[in-house]
Structure 1
């Protein structure tokens, strides 16, 4: 293992259920479902507590009981904390299965592992870097993926009700952007702007595609207000259908009910 992990120590903010939206998205992803036996998933930069890696394994277990989750952190003290938490899990003193297929190790963007992961989840990590560092970080992580694997890089708010992420292929090229919002108390989809991935967060200005995307999303949400009488999910579906009718190539329509919208990267990519 590299004695000097690649990357910088992040703030380490974490919390129970904070990453539930991305966990469930990964659990349904064809890359995980079609993976060969005993797939490895990496939770890179899990923070001050190992709970997100444990929750990820629990959620993926329902789809792939043979999955293993490896939590990686740069700070040795965070690895020690997570390892102590895992000991409590093994002793049956936690809500998680004592036989949870989880391990923790020190590591960064080089993703040290005995085998290549099918999924790397790096959430709330690059948010603390400069935009110019994003591509190199994607390339480092993607180079460690198994053939056909994906990197999921994104950010969310402190309680996990607002989340956005980019799916990046093993070729290090971004494929899609997903916005995932809790609909029950949603006032405007523009709330996602402050939680965009690092590659996009400074591009939410007139003349940039992601700015047009978010404004269109907000406009259609407002236009669908009458559907709110039937509930926020119906209102969201109406907004999504209006965007699709207008020519937006929306993906994963089955997930609209969850407050998600996924678009091809080339419709939101930064202007060179």
Structure 2
């Protein structure tokens, strides 16, 4: 999809801008672990944090965490609200900058990775798909779009990993004390899945099976909720294509309250 033409106005709609310290720590940690190698291998790696909100905080945290695994990475925070960009500008430093813009991504070269959190929930499903397509078209070859939604305190989140060719993975992440059943994460599903959590859709089948595995694994709770989560994931892996090894799977990731699946395991039966 080509870059939108016109007056140069940012593409998109202003969001509420809600943010806070460590709200996106769970996704930052996943990006660093899963895509750190991609960033290190890239020539002049560029990361875009799209729609960072009313505060620069989460963009600065992303920059700090990615610099630990890819010291040459450059991070650009993009916001559609000029006032938010003005507030963030004093926090710029070498490798970190803030710009006015939207889904058109006003950056000097194709980004290696784009993080877009809590920006698509206000759009309809068809619009969300179009913006997925637009953002994927902006990526560098082999690049990644990480699009998702988190709770306001960051304790529950779901995100999708997309390549230039399309969706590849979906990740469920939560603090162990932030839910009663794994299906509580349904309210964090991406726009293209959140209304598909109904009988007959794969996402509904997966969350139902996850709830069942969580219930069956209750005896492991005497050793802590982390052990119960691990047992639940291992049970799920008998019937769902749970990646068994790093970087997407394995005990090191599951112990953090994560579970990643191939997108095809939960993709909608019919795309709008």
Fold shared by both chains (TM-score > 0.5):
yes
Once residues 261 and 78 of structure 1 are traced to their aligned partners in structure 2, the CA distance between those partners, rounded to angstroms, is 34
**Counterpart among 252, 256, 259 of residue 258 in structure 1:** 256
Aligned residue pairs total 258
Q: State which drifts further: 46-55 or 176-185.
A: 176-185
Unmatched runs of 5 consecutive residues or more in structure 1: 88-98
1:28 maps to what in 2?
33
Q: Give the match's secondary structure for 1:28.
A: helix
How do 1:136-151 residues align onto structure 2 when only pairs under 5 Å count? 136-151=130-145
- Answer yes or no: is the 8 Å Cα contact 1:221–1:236 preserved in 2: yes
Equivalent residue, structure 1, for 2:124: 130
Matched with 1:244 is: 237
2: CA distance, partners of 1:186 / 1:226: 17
> Corresponding residue for 2:224?
231
Pairing partner for 2:212 from 199, 207, 219: 219
Q: Distance in 2 between matches of 1:239 and 1:168?
A: 26
Match of 2:269 in 1: 271
- Tell me the distance in 2 between the aligned counterparts of 1:232 and 1:118: 36
Q: How many angstroms does 1:241 deviate by?
A: 0.6
RMSD of aligned residue pairs (Cα, Å): 1.5
Equivalent residue, structure 2, for 1:153: 147
2:21 paired residue among 5, 8, 16:
16
- In structure 2, what is the Cα distance between the partners aligned to 1:220 and 1:174? 26
**What SS does the corresponding residue of 1:191 show, helix, strand or coil?**
helix
The aligned counterpart of 1:94 is: none
1:54 and 2:48 are equivalent in the alignment: no
The CA deviation at 1:59 is 0.8
Please give the alpha-carbon distance, in whole angstroms, between the structure 1 residues aligned to 2:38 and 2:75: 12
Question: Do 1:35 and 1:118's aligned partners in 2 also have CA atoms closer than 8 Å?
Answer: no
Give the unaligned 5+ runs of structure 2. Answer: 244-248
Pick aligned residue for 1:80 from 65, 83, 86: 86
Residues of 1 paired with 2:253 and 2:211: CA distance? 18
1:38 Cα deviation from its structure 2 partner:
3.1
Runs of 4+ with >3 A deviation: 30-34
Counterpart in the other structure of 2:158: 164
